Structure 1
């Protein structure tokens, strides 16, 4: 069972292979900023299953959560900040290697990546965010694979 560095390496491998594969299949035109964003989402997905335990991965993840929540508060988006804070606490409600280490969580956890833009920008915007959902899910899958869940 790898630590956070191993999961980051696995997530990075999946991100690079996914981007290279998408370019070779003609699904993706090389855009460094978009590629960096997709890689970031993949790395966050690779760390997410372990946010329910005291680890460096958890510290990194919650630092990102805190910055996003602070940004929402500064922008006076208090309702969104409250929802974000609630969802950020959910992993602590289970035991380690509990629900966060399940195949269904790999599909459900990143759904806000599609749902929030649909709610805020309209259903027609969802297609632009599918690559980010897939990237997060790919990173999540890499974590579960490295932990021997499949």
Structure 2
């Protein structure tokens, strides 16, 4: 199965494909960097259910987000994220975090939560959620392709 480096390359390729698709759009450098970072985060995210670089990064980001929630006195979001942080420890690898419907739902929910937290940034939240989703889908696609190739070569 692909390692984190392969998934990062897949996230980069996905990001470049997205940029080619939105050529007419004139984003700022900051928006380009944000999209790139969220695409890379998404490309590592599905492996959050095993000991991996993605899991380490997930917990670092979750900790920083929890600190922000406490700073802004958003106890509701703090409790929700605190409970969600335990989910990767309770599921099997290539389970729910590798399901396309779950990744789409997660991206949508995160966009909605950010919209409720900072309504003026709803467009920003949606764009970043879409970049994250694209990266996560590249991860799932790479896993499926390598699984099929491995099966094909073993069968021969």
Provide the aligned length of Structure 1 versus Structure 2: 146
* Per-residue CA distance 1:70-123 (angstroms, 9 max, x = gap): 22223332222111222222222210011111121121121223211443455x
Give structure 1 stretches of 5+ with no counterpart.
Answer: none
Identify which of 54, 64, 88 aligns with 1:91.
88
Identify which of 16, 33, 36 aligns with 2:33.
36
Matches within 5 A, 1:1-150: 1-23=1-23, 26=24, 28-121=25-118, 126-148=122-144
Query: TM-score, normalised to structure 2's length?
Result: 0.82
More helix by share: 2
Rounded to whole Å, the distance in 2 between the matches of 1:126 and 1:96 is: 32
Runs (4+) of structure 1 moved beyond 6 Å? none
Rounded to whole Å, the distance in 2 between the matches of 1:20 and 1:53 is: 33
Rounded to whole Å, the distance in 1 between the matches of 2:13 and 2:72 is: 35
Rounded to whole Å, the distance in 2 between the matches of 1:116 and 1:128 is: 12
